[in-house]
Chains A and B, each alone.
Chain A
Amino acid sequence: MTGIRTGKEWVIVLVIMVLVSIVALAAIQLSGTVGIEERFGHALGISGDATGKTEDPGFLGFSLEGQPLMFLGIIAMLGIVCYMTYRHFRI
């Protein structure tokens, strides 16, 4: 089988993107703009508190899940592992 010509390839991708966007926008209209935990709470008929989350304003709307110090510690550890792996294998 030969590849789809570049133009047709992107038409297919675009059509899929548009369809997915329509579905997503419809879902947002129906559920409202609430956080993922609240959305789960609404879907299951449990209160927001039952999902165990508290509101964190974060920075410019971006916020971290879980404990920030633990997050930074694990990121540092993973960074060291990445550096060591990169140096060791010399890829």
Chain B
Amino acid sequence: MAHIHLEDGSFTLFWVVIWWAVALVVIGAALFWVRSAKKTDSRVITLAAFCTAAAFAIFQVSIPLFGGVHLNLTPLIGILVGPVIGTFIVLIVNILSAAIGHGGWGLIGANIVINVIEVVVAYSLFRSLKKIFPSAFARGMIATLGGLFCGNLAMIAIILVSGVQGVTQSASQILFGLTLIAGINMGVAIIEAVITGMIVTYIIRMRPDMLESERQ
């Protein structure tokens, strides 16, 4: 997963406001979409509740792998509930995480942008690759890896563009360091891809009506 693991004060106030503004525009668009829809499927609402609980719970656990890593299940959220409802889940999980002291409040905007990118890319790949990868397990894995790869690119871009207060490294050194973090995150993404593939396959076998992409 990609998440900016820095505390409040890392970004200047200007960039905190900018990323919060971007996040609010995305959330506003999602709200507009939901309001303009005739009715939200009750199955999606129920899945959204479970996705929020699962994503929040797993995101707070530091897994003793490669020195300590996190999963966040954003690609699974995208696959199960889509990008619109997924945006709200990402918002809730980031706010609740900051509330318990995991991550800074000022970085919620930037982290929402990163997580929404993961949700949207995973959702798009899972739907668009159906004809190429008929197996839901394989498609779920590819969608997860694609989503998390894009999330890592977004994380690097946001940090490089915003700059971090008090750093001693040059831009190229920071880019190198962040690329290493992205590389390790992609190793963790393999685990997340397997978990996502298994959950998606299980849901499709037991309740294929729960996934919009599998209902035809």
Contacts and interface: CB of A to CB of B under 8 A. Distances in A.
A is bound by B: yes
Interface of A: 1-4, 6, 9-10, 12-13, 16-17, 20-21, 23-28, 30-40, 42-46, 50-52, 56, 58, 60-67, 70-71, 74-75, 78-79, 81-82, 85-86, 89, 91
B186 A85 contact: no
A contact patch SS: helix
A60 B187 contact: no
Contact of A62 (B64, B66, B135, B181): B64
Nearest to B179: A27
Interface stretch (B21-29, B95-103, B113-121): B95-103
A6 to B, nearest CB: 7
A3 to B, nearest CB: 4
Query: Which interface class (under 10, 10 to 19, 20 to 34, 35 or more) fits B?
Result: 35 or more
Max count, chain A CB within 10 A of own CB: residue among B42, B59, B138, B169:
B138
Given A13-B138, A51-B7, A66-B60, A89 B46 contact: yes
A21 B187 contact: yes
Contacts of B43: 89, 91
A64 B61 CA distance: 5
Contacts of A38: 67
A62 B49 contact: no
A70 B99 contact: yes
Interface in B70-129: 70, 96-97, 99-102
Contacts of B60: 64-66, 71
A2 B125 CA distance: 17
B18 interface: no
A28 B66 contact: yes
Interface of B: 4-7, 42-43, 45-46, 49-50, 52-53, 56-57, 59-64, 66-70, 96-97, 99-102, 131-135, 138, 141-142, 145, 159, 164, 166-169, 173-174, 176-184, 186-190, 193, 210
Nearest to A16: B145
Contacts of A70: 99-101
Given A34-B67, A36-B67, A62 B61 contact: yes
Contacts of A21: 187, 190
B171 to A, nearest CB: 11
Given A9-B135, A23-B186, A40-B4, 11 more contacts: A1-B132, A9-B134, A13-B142, A27-B182, A27-B183, A31-B181, A37-B5, A52-B7, A71-B60, A75-B57, A89-B42
